[in-house]
Amino acid sequence: MLHAPTLEGDSELAQQFAPTELFLNRELSLLEFNQRVLEQALDASVPLLERLKFLCISSSNLDEFFEIRVAGLQQMAELSPTQRGSDGLTPAETLALISRRAHELVDAQYSAFNDVIVPALDQERVRFLRRAEWTPQMNAWLKNYFQHELAPVLSPIGLDPAHPFPRILNKSLNFIIPLSGKDAFGRNTGFAIVQAPRALPRLIQLPPEASGAGPNDFVFLSSVIHAYIDDLFPGMEATGCYQFRLTRNSDLLVDVEEIKDLLEALEGELSQRQWGDIVRLEVAHNCPDEMWQFLMGVAQLTPDDVYRVAGPVNLHRLMMIPDLVDRPDLKYPAHTPRIPKAFSGSAKEMFAAIRERDQLLHHPYESFVAVVDFLRAAARDPKVLAIKQTLYRTGDQSAVVEALIEAARNGKEVTVVVELRARFDEEANIDLAEKLQAVGAHVVYGVVGYKTHAKMCLVVRREKRDGDVASLHPYAHLGTGNYHPRTARLYTDYGLFTANPQVCQDVHAVFLQLTSLGRLTPLQHLLQSPFTLAEALLARIDREMAHAQAGKPARIIAKMNALVDPKVIAALYRASQAGVQVDLIVRGMCSLRPGVPGLSENIQVRSIVGRFLEHDRCYSFANGGAPELYLASADWMERNLYRRVEVAFPLLDDAIRARVQANLLAYLGDTAQSWVLQPDGSYQRPPADGERAVQLRLMEAV
């Protein structure tokens, strides 16, 4: 975030084009992705409760954007105000552009909520009841709820010299209340603050005994507090009640060079995450000027940092609605991923199938259960001696972790590389690390200064082959996504099983790097950051240029989550100038400008946004007629290429390579869920050709 890359080695490009002509701003590009997510909430072809989910996701994404990216830019504006990014903008210039675009996006979110989603839900008898709509019976039930469930846990704080402004938790729901009258001590109190404890639900589902309530009638907690706020201030009158929320810097600051125990240091830092510097104020749109300006002053913000919203200050809390509302007709049809034949038999048959040929899984079209079954089989198979695994995100009650625990209890040598600094999963990863250590697994936290983002598993099995004496043979699983059973049902990812001795030896070598202090071992097939991946990518892009100039087949197709590394972008520009067709499928941030005359006429960038989150990374090179195709854990970002441990692995099986290549071409042909990036950074929908969305076609194909 605070690293400003340069166009080192590309002085010709730098002389021809200004930085703003070469690179789109990465933060604004990320906001454009959030706009595309929000567009799904407005798409009438998407089931209604799924549209609500997309609205919630856009809200949650924006929260993280402020917690991490805006917070980082604000720090940079203080520490290095004149430093410019690859796009030529200073931190202050970027923050000004972000504020304008983010305000537009927030306005669009609440317009979608108030003008589209709520009326559509109301027609389906899923209602958010305002106070004017409460029947006397509802009012009585809610009054009782307030008195017995809310009031006992609320602690209103009247502001005066003895009661300073309270410390507000990150993203918590709060209310500022103007008061008239005197309190029990005869004091005039201008206004008070009420903090809603996080344990309280933000939406209350009315029960049948609240007469007149339907099965899917809900009331906002803020409405209940507003209705009975006077009860918290006996003898006084609350002349208003306005919700607000503060967003804080949530990036953890741990100096890995100085600490002795990363786990212990992170445990200490996590407790402070809720109290970082304030970066945003959200407040009810009808809050009087003097009050939101007072809050702005307390938070030490500027008007650009204030967002006045016409609705609940945290739309993400509405994500509970689809789980509470039993309306399958308003949700996506159920999808059951298939289990490939190779993984539907016994453990012996599973290992035999991988020995016979590489096996590819495409999630969520094919079930992640196959990965869990592989680990369980390894945990229980007496022939398996050792399991090595990387874990970045796994989720609560993970079947993957349970299999590793079972393996350790069964006497296997289990080594797990746990990335404790996986953002917002730090606490969960600390917990799983302690569980694994408790059963005797060897747990390490990767390499000092580099996050371990590679997705790898290695199983070592003693077995006889062709009548020989039993010896050790490895099996590997390499993936583009996390070992996370829940997200494997929601994200698109690939996973490759292989018993190829050279590939498995490479995986073993990477694990040695992560667990020991040995020197770098040359790898035969894997590309690894921070050592060889960036260099190999640049070399392959240059090779496509040479093929194009020689009249040989030359094309690059790459699919990823983000493309922002200036060196890779510059290389792609050179390839375009040399006549290489470059087709990019970039879900989120993209700093490359496609279609610029003299620079990138041969580059097209599209983003696919649909039911599943596009998460896999694929790099395809025509290579003069001898195609290469890699799957990887890495996006084309500086952090992935230079500051993380990542792996890219080739598809050596012709049939598997052809299958993934066909999938890439299907994505390039999609017109139902794709958005095409324009030179100015905006995105446009391509003309529809009547084809079904690529995700639907892939669901039907397996």
Instruction: In whole angstroms, give the CA distance from residue 241 to residue 176.
Output: 6
Query: Comparing C-alpha atoms, which of 434, 360, 302, 312 is closest to residue 55?
Result: 312
Give the type of residue at 583: D
Task: Considering only CA atoms, give the Rg of the chain.
Answer: 28
Q: What angle do the packed helices 26-41 and 48-64 form, to 10 degrees?
A: 160
Tokens 């537009």 appear where? 104
- Measure the CA–CA gap between 608 and 669, rounded to whole angstroms: 11
Phi then psi dihedrals of residue 384, to 5 deg: -85, 130
The catalytic position among 226, 316, 362, 453 is: 453
E strand or H helix that includes residue 417: strand 413-418
Half-sphere exposure of 301 (CA within 13 A, CB side): 25
Any residues with CB less than 8 A from the CB of 128 and at least 6 apart, and which?
A: 118, 121, 203, 218, 219, 220
CA distance 402 to 414: 12
Distance CA 347, CA 378 (A): 8
Q: What DSSP assignment string belongs to 531-594?
A: TTHHHHHHHHHHHHHHHHHTTS--EEEEEES-B--HHHHHHHHHHHHTT-EEEEEESS-B-B-T
285 is catalytic: no
Query: b vs e for 195-223, b when ≥16 Cβ sit within 10 Å of the residue's Cβ?
Result: bbeeeeebbbbbeeebeebeebbbbbbbb
H-run or E-run covering 442: strand 442-444
Exposure string of 643-654, with b = 16+ CB inside 10 Å and e = fewer, is: bbbbbbbbbbbe
How far apart (Å, rounded) are the C-alpha atoms in residues 231 and 8? 66
Structure tokens at 606: 């599209």
Backbone φ, ψ for residue 379 (5° rounding): -65, -30
Residues 417, 419: Cα–Cα separation, whole Å: 7
Cβ neighbours of residue 105 closer than 8 Å, sequence gap 6 or more = 31, 34, 35, 38, 58, 62
456 in Cβ contact with 508 (< 8 Å): no
Q: Cα angle at 165 between 159 and 169, to 5 degrees?
A: 135
Report how far residue 446's alpha carbon sits from residue 448's, in angstroms, rounded to the nearest whole number: 7
Q: Which is nearest to 557 in space by CA: 534, 584, 517, 580?
A: 584
- Residue type present at position 428: A
**Where in the sequence numbering do the catalytic residues fall?**
453
